[in-house]
Amino acid sequence: MSAGGAFGGARGSSPVPPEKGVFPLDHLRQCDVEKKEYLSCLKSSGHQSKRCHPFAKVYLQCRMAKNLMARQDLTELGFRNEGDLEISGQENKESMTN
């Protein structure tokens, strides 16, 4: 008979969460307003997430502030710096006029 727990895990050892991809649920609804604004944006935009990036950014910042996820630079999560966004928009306009 095996000494391991369910699904082959060792008994008595505490589980270790993955580094990325999964984070604690917001059981106390600390970021509920931000989440609802983001979901509302998704619904109204036909689930086009690019249109809702500002809401997603605020939601993730709330989660980091409340220790619901590890603090991380938002550029690592796919968000550009505000200046980079303006510069890329200007470059696109210039390339279209030339």
Question: Over the stretch 5-22, which tens digit does the pLDDT of each residue have?
Answer: 556 656 667 766 556 666
pLDDT tens digits along 29-69 = 999 999 999 999 999 999 999 999 999 999 999 999 999 98
pTM of the model: 0.61
Q: Show me where the domains of the chain are located.
A: 26-82
Instruction: Give the N- to C-terminal CA distance of the chain in Å, as an integer.
Output: 74
Please give the pLDDT value at position 14: 73
